[in-house]
Structure 1
Amino acid sequence: MTYLLQFEPQFIFYAAYHRQKWNILIHSICIPTLVWTVGVWLSNTGDLAPSLSVAKFLPAFNGWAPEANGAFFGTIIYLAYYAILEPGAALFMTPIWTAMYLSEGWFLATVPNANVYALYVHIAAWVVQILGHVVFEGRAPAFTESLWQAVVVAPLFVWVEILFALGYKPDLVRKLDVEIKKVQAIKFGTAGKDK
């Protein structure tokens, strides 16, 4: 259980499957896309807690007002978990996920067949990621070993990789890179195709 509350071992596991720069780029695009499409579907729940009155804090846009729907609660749960794992990353991530939550609900409310479009985009994002693993990493995706990593840790991984590229916590980057190479050597018999 403590593993689930520790950033470094989860990041190392996930990163061992994602070291090639093109595959990281693919995931940096596709994982937020997957999160967004699921958010569109979760917006179908409607307002689950009218007493929260999210709409009081955020203005209506083009006839749609924010509500405490499934996407709202999903966003809160994910960000709370990420704040436990890596508070700085979660803080920087919050405005982006808030914008995603708002756009998910607006998209569902204003675009005919929004759920169908979200399905097409969702499937395409999975296909592109799997191809990225086969072509660039030469190995199966992390979800074949841990669905938790694919569904829960992946969005944080992508965001932290972007932050690392921007200079966030360089000492941690060096430390993690050493550990990632050790895990790759054990799992795959090699340090893998590196960045």
Structure 2
Amino acid sequence: MKTLVDQLSVYQAFHRNKWNVVTHYFGIPSIIFGLFIALGWLRFSIGGFDVSAAMIFFLVTLIYYFMLDFSFALGMLIVVGFLLYVSEIFAVRGIYASLTICLVTFIGGWILQFIGHLFEGRQPAFFLNLTQLLIGPLYLWAKFIYFIGIRRAEKLRIIELSKNY
């Protein structure tokens, strides 16, 4: 399995343009929110608890994040966990009540992503490796952490390694 630095280096290589990164700060959460609403329509009971496919997807993704980096995974637990919480509010109302918000956020998020890559002049990272779809949210968290001055050496290493892609 690739390390956090390896994964973020690949993602960084496809996200050097600041406007591309800005569109991702809006597009990625929108896509996640829309996806969580749609997955939230698929519900079942486990041990008497109401569970959605969105919850299962989030749990599996979170396990992967913990395998990459414990502290970053905690950040994702909070941020993406909040998106899951809010999406569940919409999803439990049913498809007809939440279809519009699901489609607008999901499709709108993808439109923002591709607009960003027009600025970048390069295809999205997931065209190279589908795992990069899971790295996108983690990359945004990493950009925030590095921006506030935490893990500076790691940031510099990622930038240096990204030149190989």
TM-score (norm 1): 0.77
The question of 1:170 aligning with 2:148 is answered no
Measure the CA separation in 1 of the matches of 2:45 and 2:39.
11
Partner secondary structure for residue 16 of structure 2: coil
The one of 109, 133, 136 aligned to 1:154 = 136
Highest RCO, 1 vs 2 (Cα 8 Å, sep ≥ 6): 2
Cα deviation, 1:96-154, whole Å, max 9, x if unaligned, reads 222221111111234753123312321121112111111x21122222222221x2211
Match of 1:133 among 100, 117, 140: 117
Q: Answer yes or no: is the 8 Å Cα contact 2:14–2:125 preserved in 1.
A: yes
**Residues 17-96 of structure 1: matches in 2 within 5 Å?**
17-49=14-46, 51=47, 53=49, 67-96=50-79
Determine the C-alpha separation between the residues in 2 that align with 1:52 and 1:32. 30
Query: How far has the Cα of 1:19 moved from its partner?
Result: 1.4
Tell me the matched-pair count. 164
Q: Is the 8 A contact 1:48 1:70 kept in 2?
A: no
**1:99 aligned to 60, 79, 82, which one?**
82
Name the amino acid aligned to 1:87: F
Give 5+ residue unaligned stretches, structure 1: 54-66, 185-195
1:76 and 1:31 map into 2 onto residues whose CA distance is: 18
Whether the 8 Å CA contact 1:79–1:90 is kept in 2: the answer is yes
Bigger Rg, which one: 1
Query: What does residue 61 of structure 1 align with?
Result: none
Does the CA contact (< 8 Å) of 2:6 and 2:158 recur in 1?
A: no
State percent identity of aligned pairs. Answer: 25
Q: Counterparts of 1:39 and 1:73 in 2: how far apart (Å)? A: 10
CA RMSD of aligned residues (A): 1.8
Give the corresponding residue for 1:60: none
Question: Which stretches in structure 2 are left out of the alignment for 5+ residues?
Answer: none
TM-score by length of 2: 0.90
**In 2, are the aligned partners of 1:52 and 1:68 still within 8 Å (CA)?**
no
Question: Greater strand percent: which structure?
Answer: 2
